[in-house]
């Protein structure tokens, strides 16, 4: 009975997926909106990566909202999990196991690589796949490895908080500069476009990307650290 019903479930799923696969036709040409963006972003913003150009300039307000959501999450986690004394965790008579030497040494070798890769992803956001959010997440994963492999590490929450707030303030400040000197809030034309495809180009997009990376990296690191205690 059980085997029959699972076979029936598999067959039904198969029918559903066969319908989806059979109905799939590869799109021959891009839609009008995509075509518009594909032409507009490299010409007006000077960014080869269309997605980052859209996210940071045309939908910059949306990105600011995402950063605000992340900030609210960090604040909420801090309210829920912060403020407790951390010494209650270790019960007497049962010492925590020493971390493995191999893991510690390996983490010391891979951590610089991870942080370097995070910085690379952040700085190349306007050229290739990547950007502030992704690079910040990579940096935060490095922080997580640091906590797992070397548990004695203490994060300086005050410093991280100040860094993150400063990045947010400068981000909004750049947006207001765009309001004053260019076409609107978060317009990237306040800096010269530069040569197409080089590291320093595309107006304010790399600056905003770097600020986003710093902010996201610091925020996620603090969130991860809150969960440790």
DSSP state, residue 182: S
The span of 27-35, 61-69, 100-108, 211-219 binding other proteins (CB under 8 A) equals 100-108
Measured from the CB atom, the residue of 30 and 103 that comes closer to other proteins is 103
Which one of 93-101, 162-170, 201-209, 215-223 is the stretch in contact with other proteins (CB under 8 A)? 93-101
The minimum distance between CB 161 and other proteins, in angstroms, equals 30
CB atoms under 10 Å from CB of 141, counted, come to 17
Dihedral sign (CA 159, 164, 167, 169): negative
Which of 93, 97, 152, 180 touches other proteins by CB under 8 A?
Answer: 97
Can residue 98 be called a binding residue for other proteins (CB under 8 A)?
Answer: yes
Interface with other proteins, residue 94, by CB under 8 A: no
The stretch near other proteins (CB under 8 A) out of 30-38, 51-59, 96-104, 218-226 is 96-104
Q: What is the DSSP letter of 88?
A: G
Q: How far apart are CA 80 and CA 226, in angstroms?
A: 9
Residue 28 or 101: the one with the smaller Cβ distance to other proteins is 101
Residue that the structure tokens 């991870």 belong to: 114
Nearer to other proteins, 19 or 106 (CB): 106
Residue in 162, 177, 174 with CA at minimum distance from that of residue 207: 174
Residue 199 interacts with other proteins (CB under 8 A)? no
- Quick note: the x/- pattern for other proteins over 113-152, rule CB under 8 A, is x---------------------------------------
Q: Which is nearer to other proteins, 7 or 103 (CB)?
A: 103
Q: Phi first, then psi: what are they for 204, rounded to 5°?
A: -90, 0
Cα atoms in the 13 Å half-sphere on the side-chain side of 82? 13
Size of the site for other proteins (CB under 8 A): 11
Token duo for residue 144: 């997580």
Please state, in angstroms and rounded to a whole number, the distance separating the CA atoms of residues 119 and 107: 18
CA distance 37 to 42: 9
Considering only 48, 110, 172, 185, the residue that binds other proteins (CB under 8 A) is 110
- Contacting residues toward other proteins, per CB under 8 A: 97-103, 106, 109-110, 113
């Amino acid at each position: 009975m059980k085997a029959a019903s699972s076979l029936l479930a598999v067959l039904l799923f198969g029918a559903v997926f066969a319908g989806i696969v059979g109905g799939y036709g590869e799109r021959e040409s891009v839609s009008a909106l995509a075509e518009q963006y594909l032409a507009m972003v490299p010409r007006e913003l000077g960014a080869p990566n269309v997605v980052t150009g859209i996210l940071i300039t045309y939908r910059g307000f949306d990105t600011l909202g995402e950063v605000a959501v992340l900030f609210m999450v960090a604040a909420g986690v801090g309210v829920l999990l912060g403020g407790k004394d951390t010494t209650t965790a270790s019960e007497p008579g049962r010492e925590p196991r020493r971390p493995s030497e191999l893991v510690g040494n390996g983490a010391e070798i891979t951590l610089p690589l991870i942080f370097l890769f995070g910085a690379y992803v952040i700085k190349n956001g306007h050229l290739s796949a990547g950007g502030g959010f992704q690079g910040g997440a990579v940096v935060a994963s490095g922080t997580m490895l640091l906590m797992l492999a070397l548990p004695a590490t203490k994060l300086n929450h005050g410093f991280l908080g100040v860094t993150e707030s400063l990045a947010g303030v400068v981000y909004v400040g750049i947006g207001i500069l765009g309001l004053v000197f260019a076409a609107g809030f978060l317009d990237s034309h306040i800096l010269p476009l530069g040569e197409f495809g080089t590291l320093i180009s595309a107006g304010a997009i790399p600056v905003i990307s770097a600020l986003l990376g710093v902010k996201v990296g610091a925020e996620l690191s603090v969130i991860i650290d809150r969960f440790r205690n």
